[in-house]
Structure 1
């Protein structure tokens, strides 16, 4: 009827007793009857279902939407390069960015060399 204060609490509903003994079997925690959160494709903004789901750099895509920004070739997880949230095939990534030797230059950002020159000018005037 009543349990002692130190007695174990009854088994939760998701645990089932094994018929051969007193041991318990726990069901997988990954299985849930709750509705799954709908994931949205980064490229097309439509729902991504588990069979067509592809995750690259923490972004979710349909496998058919994961394309090079430059040539729109379909990419795979082994054939892409990412820079500033944009995805490229490896040949175009090299053509667009590595040949210049400066990743920022391809995006119209201020080059780091300009910052170094500015610091050298400041330090040169202070020491003279």
Structure 2
């Protein structure tokens, strides 16, 4: 993503890398620490304006995670190879169902309940 940001004109000094996370939520948690430390070190007050880079298919779910940790962030999506897109979209669909797991579970229970009782 760093390479992509440089290609689209983002200055090197504006890019903060995070390389310890294992998933998107951890990435935002670790990035939040780095961003706030850099923000305070620069003498700024208030909330920083954040632009994050990810794959174009992943921007929506990443935005959900940024809101969950309390950041108002905008996402920029890097292009994805067409051969990878079907797999990536299925993965994102499952990821969003997981993000909303309680609602998903309740909908599945209601659907099973209705299917069982409407069958009679």
TM-score by length of 2: 0.30
Higher strand share: 1
Query: Which structure has more RCO (C-alpha within 8 Å, separation ≥ 6)?
Result: 2
User: Highest CA radius of gyration, 1 or 2?
Assistant: 1
TM-score by length of 1: 0.29
